[in-house]
Amino acid sequence: MAFRLKLVPQDTRIDFFRWQFVTFGISSAMAILSVVVLVIYGLNFGIDFRGGTTIRTESTQPVDVGVYRQALSPLGLGEVAITQVYDPGFRADQHVAQVRISAQEGAESVTPETVAAVEAALKTVDPAVSFPSVESVGPKVSGELIQTAIYAVLASLIAISIYIWLRFEWQFAAGAIVSLLHDVLITMGVFALFQIRFDLTTIAALLTIVGYSINDTVVVFDRLRENLMKFKKRALREVMNLSVNETLSRTVMTSGTTLVALIALLVLGGDVIRGFVFAITFGIVIGTYSSIYVAKNVVLWLGVKRDWSKKDRSDDGSPFSGAEAP
């Protein structure tokens, strides 16, 4: 007899909408707090968006940020940020730091001569230091990257909304877009709160979150539409609960297996991809939550058509209409 692992019972009857106003209120509060955090702290833009040069140093000797900064101060480089990088995957004698130099006013990027001067200055205080990577981005390019990133996120949200509208109804599209905005906004708020580096890889992570979240939302929407045509006499809330429960096993298995891989990358993948992996990990958690407690709540309040086989749209199944489909 084959052994089959079941993380979710076969027939669940969880009332996901029992506390619908509380859950939606929490989501709204989190979104508002994210906006406040973004305004107060701002995003910790990486070199992709700020312009300048990032030098990654590596040494067998412990990093002393104060000594590094003192060695660079005579160069007159302006704003210089030096941070030590910690990672459990590093060797015992592997000490890594990042030196971030903002682009000088009127210059497209930090010149190779300046980079060479930085390397020479650091070698005077730590002869064992090496420079495995140097990344430079000019202010003009960084400004264009910010615009392109914003357009990419907005274009994806608009395209997804149109797709949901055409495949289902406008109420579904409204729920999906509110859910996606909720996911992106809260993820950015977490990045601002903890000052996690925000760069092009984070934009890629945000687009990945949007795709993952809408995939989970569409699965439940599709089952909801089937059940709405099947159970015409049931209240919309009951049909929604039924649909979420029927797809719960798939949601848990998909999210769970994805998180296993992501947590492994988060712990063992190194600091280079940590921001990217953290964004996706957090986004999957918040996206799974929002597909039920944000998208479905919006659809529940707006009401939907109860019978797609009919062209008559007078009865939209709204809880405020007070009428049931035949």
pLDDT at 93 over 70: yes
Residue linked to tokens 């035949």: 326
**pLDDT 10s digits, 136-183:** 766 566 667 778 878 888 888 888 888 888 888 888 888 888 988 899
In the prediction, which pLDDT does 105 show? 58
pLDDT at 326: 37
Question: What average pLDDT does the segment 234-253 reach?
Answer: 86
Domain segments of the chain as ranges: 20-44+142-302, 52-137
- pLDDT bin (cut points 50, 70, 90) of residue 193 is very high
Give the pLDDT confidence score for residue 40 in this predicted structure. 93
Give 1's pLDDT tier (boundaries 50, 70, 90).
very low
Binned at pLDDT 50, 70 and 90, residue 132 comes out as confident
CATH superfamily of 20-44+142-302: Multidrug efflux transporter AcrB transmembrane domain (1.20.1640.10)
Greater pLDDT, 189 or 300: 189
| Integer Cα distance of 296 and 16 in angstroms | 10
Q: What is the pLDDT of residues 57-87, one digit of tens each?
A: 888 888 888 888 888 888 877 667 788 887 7
Question: What is the rounded average pLDDT for all residues in the chain?
Answer: 80
In this predicted model, what pLDDT tens digit does every residue of 6-62 receive, in sequence order? 666 667 778 888 888 888 889 999 999 999 999 999 888 776 677 778 888 888 888
pTM: 0.72
Question: Domain 52-137 maps to which CATH number in 2.40.30.60, 3.40.50.720, 3.30.70.2040, 3.40.640.10?
Answer: 3.30.70.2040
- What percent of the chain has pLDDT above 70? 83
**Residue 315 banded pLDDT, cuts 50, 70, 90:** very low
